[in-house]
Amino acid sequence: MKRTMLYVSASVLLISTIAFGGKAKKGNNSFPLLQENTINTIIDVTARSVARRYDLNPDQAQIAREMIERNSWNFINEHYDTLLEVMPKLYEFRMKASEGEDPTPAEVQAVAQKLYPLIVEARNLIVSQNEKFDQYLNDKQKVKHQRDIAKMKKDFARIEKKFKRWKEGGYRPGEFAKRRHRRRRMRNINKPKTQKTLDPTMFDFWEMYVKTFIEAFQLDQGQVTLAYSVLNDMKTRANAYRQDHAREFQEVQQAIERLSKANTTQPDKKRREELAKYKKKLAKLNQPLLDMFEELKQRLMDIPTDVQRKSAQQLLSTKDKQDKTGK
């Protein structure tokens, strides 16, 4: 989901906690993953992302920031005890699923029964706050914002439907694992079987970039959590796009592989023309993924402090000089 006004507001911490199993409470620094300074960083990055997405003026940006901060802290503090109880369990389910061990329907039901009301409350608050925020936007900004609101409502409907089924005992064994395997299959849809190098349309490339970014800017634990939150957000959007275009990716890739074979019966000129046509189609299909990778990079750059940016720049400058001199 996009980290815009739509997906934060009261639930920026709920979503982050669902993703990472962390815990947070204002004034409580007992937990390493989502401490107060980390939450404030998430809020700050989110506010800047909102301002950039809707091209807000300073007054609009300040209103958005205040709404995000107020709603986020109110929500997390009001429901802290419940989140503290259920989030580690949800995180445990995901970790076990990654190792091939699945939770029972009863275990998932117990968690979903407590989490579902929070999701409904978050959705109601987010919708109302976004509709309220809409009054501060100009006509051009409202067009994009209304599209985002419509998309947000669909996303929440999907999430609520799943958790409602789970809280009623309808969890299907293997759902966590299936989600993981589906991501792996979708990741390889547009990857040639013989391809050995990574490219910016692949999740392996995105993950490698994030790890390198974390190391280059020496991010602290809270910032690392936020960086992976951004990565997971972008991967969710990319997966949705790939699923929507799965058949197109498959057909184009199969055509490219077929036309790339040396023993084709087609005349060489005709084969090259056909191959170029399908490669052009693949490039067009990949363009939204490339755009998402650029957005990933931009959002990651919002995370480091000015001191960290300066330190990383100095390190890169020193390395560049060493590469040129060979020393």
Express each pLDDT in 203-240 by its tens digit: 888 988 898 888 888 888 778 888 888 888 888 888 88
CB 49 within 8 A of CB 302: yes
- Give the count of domains, the chain: 2
pLDDT at 197 over 60: no
Query: Of the residues 138, 172, 206, which one is the last residue of a structural domain?
Result: 172
- Long-range contact list for 110-115, CB < 8 A, 24+ apart? 111/86, 111/166, 112/163, 112/164, 112/166, 112/167, 112/171, 113/167, 114/82, 114/85, 114/86, 115/82, 115/86, 115/90, 115/163
In this structure, are 61 and 151 located in the same domain?
A: yes
In a domain, 326, yes or no: no
Q: How far apart are CA 258 and CA 278, in angstroms?
A: 11
Residue scoring higher pLDDT (89 or 58): 58
Q: How far is CA 269 from CA 264, 265, 272, 275, 276, in A?
A: 12, 12, 5, 10, 11
**The dihedral of CA 26, 29, 30, 31: what is its sign?**
positive
Is the Cβ–Cβ distance between 237 and 206 less than 8 Å?
A: no
Between 197 and 303, whose confidence is greater?
303
**Cβ(43)–Cβ(12) below 8 Å:** yes
Q: Tell whether 71 and 212 lie within a shared domain.
A: no
pLDDT digits (tens, 9 = 90+) for 124-169: 888 888 888 989 999 999 998 888 888 888 888 888 898 999 999 9
For residues 184-188, average pLDDT? 43
**Pair 6, 152: CB distance under 8 Å:** yes
Q: Identify the top-confidence range among 11-15, 190-194, 234-238.
A: 234-238
Q: Kindly state whether residue 12 falls inside one of the protein's structural domains.
A: yes
Structural domain contains residue 181: no
15's tokens: 């979503």
What pLDDT score does 180 carry? 43
Residues 242 and 153 in one domain: no
For 63, 147, 170, the CA distances from 135, given in Å and listed in that order, are: 11, 15, 40
Q: Give all strands (DSSP E) within the chain, no chain letters.
A: none
Quote the pTM value.
Answer: 0.55
- For 25-69, the pLDDT digits (tens) are 444 433 334 456 666 766 776 777 788 788 899 999 999 888 888
Of 11-15, 41-45, 92-96, 309-313, where does mean pLDDT reach its minimum?
A: 11-15
Residue 8 to residue 11: CA distance in whole angstroms: 5
Q: Do 13 and 141 lie in a common domain? A: yes
Q: Are residues 39 and 103 located together in one domain of the fold?
A: yes
Instruction: Check if the beta carbon of residue 245 is closer than 8 Å to that of residue 190.
Output: no
211 in any annotated domain: yes
Crossing angle (nearest 10°) for helices 246-260 and 268-300: 140
What's the pLDDT score for residue 41? 65
Q: Is 96 inside a domain boundary?
A: yes
pLDDT of residue 63: 92
Quick one: CA torsion of 35, 39, 42, 44, rounded to 10 degrees? -130
Of 326 and 133, the structure prediction assigns the larger pLDDT to 133
Residue 136 lies in a domain: yes
In terms of domains, do 85 and 20 share one? yes
Do both 30 and 153 map to the same domain? yes
Q: How far apart are CA 216 and CA 299, in angstroms?
A: 16
The verdict on residue 291 lying in a domain is: yes
Q: Domain range holding 150?
A: 5-172
The whole-angstrom separation of Cα 221 and Cα 33 is: 7
Q: For 250-307, how does the pLDDT look when each residue is reduced to its tens digit (9 = 90+)?
A: 999 888 888 877 555 555 778 888 888 888 999 999 999 999 999 898 888 888 888 8
Is 113:95 a contact under the CB 8 Å cutoff?
no
